[in-house]
Amino acid sequence: MDDIDEIKTRGYDKDHLITMGYSTDYSNLDSLSMDKWNTIMLKLKMNHTPYDCRHTFATRMDNVSANKVCIKLIMGHQIKDITDVVYTHKTKEQLIEQVNLLK
């Protein structure tokens, strides 16, 4: 199964998944990842950046009132609040539960 078939199998909806992104700094993405991304965008006849998906995910999670700590953990963001970073613990199941709010 190629990347496009996998996206179709998972129920990809090109009209509702991608939102406008603001970042154009792709220095942390290796060329192989960007080649794969560009191939997918060509096959889908779309023009989006990898960070557009991050904007979409964060926005949609916020729209369903997902837990802010879970959103940051899932996205790999640093948590600066001492209470959240030291005293708040989330399990894998809790993170999955929050993502499932998008269904």
- H or E segment and range at residue 98: helix 92-99
**pLDDT score recorded for residue 37:** 86
User: Which portions of the chain are predicted below pLDDT 70?
Assistant: 1-32
CA distance 73 to 64: 17
Reported as a single tens digit per residue, the pLDDT across 63-80 is: 999 999 999 998 888 888
Query: How many CB atoms lie under 10 A from the CB of residue 51?
Result: 15
Distance (Å) of CA 12 to CA 3, 9, 16? 11, 8, 9
Q: Per-domain residue ranges for the chain? A: 3-102
Rounded to two decimals, the pTM is 0.62
**pLDDT score recorded for residue 81:** 85
